[in-house]
Amino acid sequence: MEHGSLAERFGRYLPLFESERRALSALGETERHVARGAVLRREQAPAREMFVVRRGWLFSSMLLPEGNRQILCLHLPGDLAADTSLPWGNAPFSLTAATDAIVCVVEKTALRDLFVQHPRLGMLMLALAQAERVALADRLASVGRTAARSRVAALIVDAYCRLRLAGEPVVDGFVLPLTQEEIGDATGLTSVHVNRMMRQLVEEQLIARVGGRIRILDEARLVALGHHVDRMAEIDTSWLCAPAEA
């Protein structure tokens, strides 16, 4: 099983049968490389496929008429991206590469066979979509109801925990491949204020920054400050089990 595949992702949450594993592998055959800064898909553009991130970071964003941008979601290796475009012919968000990245392409229509032949995987997809929805709600609460410093902290811990969960090496810090302007667009702040808040986090000894890398110095306080809850780490799939086959 390749790194950053759907099978690997789903297997995190549910022991898979060999047939299920094969069905998932069959979904994403073609790979695509995207350069840092490239827009893999623009808002409103036709959207017939979703993506699984194999390498690199992407983000989903929305442009408001005044030119403001809201970054809605970061996509790290192993994550599904653009699956939100399922209910529409055209994409609701833009999908941009924050670093050079590799994704594999999954046709929306391929889900038909998956749902018919492996209902359990269909339910798992639904459960994971709901989990992402709750994670998005966490961000809404962060932006709507916490101070600037907390929002920046939340973004940093979130990235940190997800990288760790995905098995990336993070003990000596990790690269946060976002400009302060992008962090601002994700947290509802200006880049200037993001800068102030990050240096404040450094000053308070919650994080350290060395050459583009961020090291977490006090995870507990950072988690408390950002009100971090790791939704994806505690998913319960027991209710959907009544295995379809042996």
Partner DNA sequence: CGATTTTTTGACAGTATTCAACGGGGGTGG
Partner DNA sequence: CCACCCCCGTTGAATACTGTCAAAAAATCG
Q: Does 245 bind a copy of itself (CB under 8 A)?
A: no
Closer by beta carbon to a copy of itself, 36 or else 133: 133
Q: Do 16 and 7 contact (CB within 8 A), yes or no? A: yes
d(CA 201, CA 214): 11
d(CA 97, CA 53): 10
**Could you give the angle at the alpha carbon of 168 between the alpha carbons of 200 and 9, nearest 5°?**
120
> Whole-number minimum distance, CB 55 to DNA, in Å?
16
Select from DNA, a copy of itself, none the partner in contact with residue 169, using the beta carbon and a kind-dependent cut-off of 5 to 8 Å. none
Q: Could you count the other beta carbons within 10 Å of the beta carbon of residue 13?
A: 16
The region of 14-22, 171-179, 198-206, 233-241 touching a copy of itself under the rule CB under 8 A is 233-241
**Could you give the angle at the alpha carbon of 98 between the alpha carbons of 92 and 101, nearest 5°?**
95
Closer by beta carbon to DNA, 52 or else 214: 214
Q: Does 246 bind a copy of itself (CB under 8 A)?
A: no
Q: How far is CA 148 from CA 159, 214, 223, 225, in A?
A: 17, 18, 15, 11
Q: Does 149 bind DNA (CB under 7 A)?
A: yes
Closer by beta carbon to DNA, 3 or else 199: 199
The contact pattern for DNA, residues 205-234, with x = CB under 7 A and - = no contact, is: ----x-xx----------------------
State the number of binding residues for DNA (CB under 7 A).
19
The region of 14-22, 30-38, 141-149, 154-162 touching a copy of itself under the rule CB under 8 A is 141-149
Per CB under 8 A, the list member of 164, 209, 221, 227 interacting with a copy of itself is 227
**Could you give the angle at the alpha carbon of 93 between the alpha carbons of 145 and 80, nearest 5°?**
90
Q: Does 236 bind a copy of itself (CB under 8 A)?
A: yes
Per CB under 7 A, the list member of 12, 25, 55, 195 interacting with DNA is 195
First to last CA, the chain: 21
